[in-house]
Structure 1
Amino acid sequence: MSDEPRDCERILTQSANTVRPLIRSQVNRLPAHIRHLAGLHFGWWTDDRVHVDHQGDGKALRPALTLLACRAVGGDPAAARPAAVSVELVHNASLLHDDIIDHDRMRRHRPALWAAKGFPAAILAGDALFFAAVQALAEAPRAELTVPVLLESVQLLIEGEYLDILLETGTDVSEDRALAVAAGKTGELLAAACALGAIAGGADAQRAAHLRAFGRHLGIAFQCIDDLLGIWGDEQATGKPALSDLRRRKISLPVAAAMAGHTPQAETLRALYRRNTPPNDEECRHAAKLIEQSGARDWTLYRARRHSADAHEHLALARPAPAAVAELTALAEMITNRDR
């Protein structure tokens, strides 16, 4: 590979092209009926087993981080391919379960698996992908180091998902709880992606720990921006309806920050979320204005920038190779400045 740094689009495209056939190979090892469900989720074929020619398996951000972390410590990125497959399988398993929890009927412009095949099918397909992710690492070199990292991160991811459910009940709405959700749901898997890549590249424990911290802070920044886009994002860019998170009464980071105060805006927002009926368009626009007036939009943006800065500090401490640090930095900038 050339030492000339690539732009983000090229990094993600090349990572996807590298990992996609390996993911498919791993999924093809599943029993026939579960393999069919997984293929429906990935969009590889239709329900009547007609193969679909498309490349819409996601952005491959996590595999890209894994391969780059390996390169950053002087390793051959090929050594990190099983880890890249593993983190992408975990990501997709969590998406299958997320769609059930959130009752989201669409995923990547296709019906979510639960909407097409029912809750049991989607739960079991998600479970199968979690175990396929472990299998991908267990059969690769350094499994004694990588498998425990993956298992710990998946447990923390699940904890983050449950904290999110508790947050949605409104029993403990606070900035700290919302940040803990972001750290678990999003930060942990990006942390695992970077740590597993570093371990596959032969990094010592200290360098791997710094790259893991880089991924965790980057993941929290990612979630901060995602939550801002869920309220103020451009529908043309995000593909989501404007104010979508407010329509769903999702307690995202800016909403939690606004509700946590003892202000008229906070009380009005809490009352809107307690109602039995979803808010209409006018009420959603009013809620967005209340959140902005409370300072929660600026607070969330500040958090994104703070965690991005922390990520860069840990990246520097990992003493990465120059070309790899340029590309990891480019991905970090893309995450914290994206509009979709």
Structure 2
Amino acid sequence: MASSQTLTDARPAFEVLAWSREVVEPLLRQAVDRLPPPARRIAGYHFGWHDEDGTPTRAGGKAIRPALTLLSARAVGGHERAAAPAAVAVELAHNYSLLHDDLIDADEARRHRPTAWKVFGSAQAILVGDVLHALAFDVLACGGTALAAHGTPLLSSALLDLAGGQCADVAFEARTDAVPVDECLEMVRCKTAALLGGACALGALAGGAVPSQVERMRAFGEQLGLAFQMVDDLLGIWGEPSVTGKPVRADLAQRKKSLPVVAALASGTPAGDELAELYHRDTPLTDAELVRAADLVELAGGRAWAQTQADDRMESALVELQADTLVPGAAAELLNIARLITRRDH
């Protein structure tokens, strides 16, 4: 039982993620199998279960959000099986957003292979994203009384925030004025952190948590989500393509107003001013200009600021795990996942 787990029982992050996939993937496949064949084929490709012609593969993601959901249930003294439907719903919702994100950002690769829209076309990728969104709520509605009654509004609120954050992110790219750092942080809270917070809150709810515990787990997930995005933005500029699976300095090439960039542009430094010049050009940046842009972000303090913010948000997340009402071993495993997220290279 989760309630008897101790700190010494805590598993390392890679074991927790493997355990999470063992619990969630069979149920996720069952849900996807209910889709019409064309949607099922594209969804299976996107999840990494098979290649374009249906040959089985193993190219899936880390499944961090389902792991957070299952562990949150254990952290409040519940059993992971009660939270499995919530974990499946969260993974479906997350992948709906990824299918749409890849189109919005014109990303041609994910997990070291072509994105779904590059293989099957834009219209099909959009439609399958929509189907996964609907399927997430269907799975949640069938996941038990607590999830059906209280989990649905939790997930709905997180996805409304996510869509609002995406809208803001896209709007930032077209803006010629300086985007304030606080406004960018709020965009990130909505776009990324809200769903991680929702994943943890759903797990706690399924585990039988009282409202204060649900809110504590939501706050943990949200702060972790902010740290996650800081690291993701750093990797979008300085990540190694062979590890991240994305082109070098991809975010700069797309003139994305990521957090390090916004901090650099708002720095009031000569490097920030030069970066603004590059960002406002109408023509694509050359390879040399992309290298220069990355250097300017660092010179203007954007890289150091984002790393400090990631560390600070991580500390804020960990404060939420220190409650004596949480099961110590599960809280320790949540800590291991949090460290994986904020120290990752892809």
Deviation at 1:339, TM superposition (A): 2.0
Name which of 63, 67, 72 aligns with 1:64: 67
**Greater CA deviation, 299-308 or 38-47?**
38-47
Structure 1 residues not aligned, in runs of 5+: none
Q: Does 1:114 align with 2:117?
A: yes
Residue 251 (structure 1) aligns with: 257
Residue 26 (structure 1) aligns with: 31
Q: Does 1:306 align with 2:312?
A: yes
CA distance in structure 2 between the aligned counterparts of 1:46 and 1:218, rounded to whole angstroms = 32
Residue 91 (structure 2) aligns with: 88
CA distance in structure 2 between the aligned counterparts of 1:221 and 1:232, rounded to whole angstroms = 16
Deviation at 1:70, TM superposition (A): 0.1
CA distance in structure 1 between the aligned counterparts of 2:42 and 2:243, rounded to whole angstroms = 29
Q: Does 1:6 align with 2:11?
A: yes
Deviation at 1:139, TM superposition (A): 0.5
- Aligned residue-pair number: 338
Secondary structure of 2:318's partner?
Answer: helix
CA distance in structure 2 between the aligned counterparts of 1:232 and 1:104, rounded to whole angstroms = 17
CA distance in structure 2 between the aligned counterparts of 1:28 and 1:236, rounded to whole angstroms = 32
Name which of 24, 35, 42 aligns with 2:40: 35
CA distance in structure 2 between the aligned counterparts of 1:203 and 1:217, rounded to whole angstroms = 20
Kept in 1, the 8 Å contact 2:90–2:136? The answer is yes
Deviation at 1:168, TM superposition (A): 1.1
Kept in 2, the 8 Å contact 1:83–1:137? The answer is yes
Name which of 200, 207, 217 aligns with 1:201: 207
**Greater CA deviation, 173-182 or 59-68?**
173-182
Name which of 269, 285, 291 aligns with 1:285: 291
1:82-161 to structure 2, matched below 5 A, reads 82-141=85-144, 142=146, 143-161=148-166
**Greater CA deviation, 313-322 or 95-104?**
313-322
Deviation at 1:230, TM superposition (A): 1.4
Residue 216 (structure 1) aligns with: 222
Kept in 2, the 8 Å contact 1:70–1:77? The answer is yes
**Greater CA deviation, 325-334 or 172-181?**
172-181
- RMSD between superposed Cα atoms in Å: 1.6
CA distance in structure 2 between the aligned counterparts of 1:230 and 1:264, rounded to whole angstroms = 23
Q: TM-score, normalised by structure 2?
A: 0.93
Cα offsets for 1:78-105 (capped at 9, x unmatched): 0000000000001110000001101111
Secondary structure of 1:276's partner?
Answer: coil
Cα offsets for 1:261-317 (capped at 9, x unmatched): 333222211111111222222212221221112111111111111111111112224
Q: Does 1:228 align with 2:246?
A: no
Kept in 2, the 8 Å contact 1:207–1:318? The answer is no
Q: Does 1:166 align with 2:204?
A: no
Secondary structure of 1:316's partner?
Answer: coil
Equivalent AA in structure 1 for residue 204 of structure 2: A
Name which of 251, 263, 274 aligns with 1:268: 274
**Greater CA deviation, 125-134 or 296-305?**
296-305
Q: Runs ≥4 in structure 1, deviation > 4 angstroms?
A: none
Equivalent AA in structure 2 for residue 229 of structure 1: L
CA distance in structure 2 between the aligned counterparts of 1:200 and 1:206, rounded to whole angstroms = 14
Q: TM-score, normalised by structure 1?
A: 0.95
Cα offsets for 1:188-224 (capped at 9, x unmatched): 1110110000000000111100100000000000000
Deviation at 1:151, TM superposition (A): 0.6
CA distance in structure 1 between the aligned counterparts of 2:337 and 2:94, rounded to whole angstroms = 18
Deviation at 1:239, TM superposition (A): 3.1
CA distance in structure 2 between the aligned counterparts of 1:215 and 1:272, rounded to whole angstroms = 35
Cα offsets for 1:2-61 (capped at 9, x unmatched): 64110011001111121111111001111222222212222333444x331x33221010
User: Are the structure 2 counterparts of residues 240 and 117 from structure 1 closer, same or farther at C-alpha, using a change threshold of 3 Å?
Assistant: closer
CA distance in structure 2 between the aligned counterparts of 1:329 and 1:218, rounded to whole angstroms = 10
Cα offsets for 1:114-169 (capped at 9, x unmatched): 11222211111000000100011100111101111001101001011111001111
CA distance in structure 1 between the aligned counterparts of 2:290 and 2:25, rounded to whole angstroms = 39
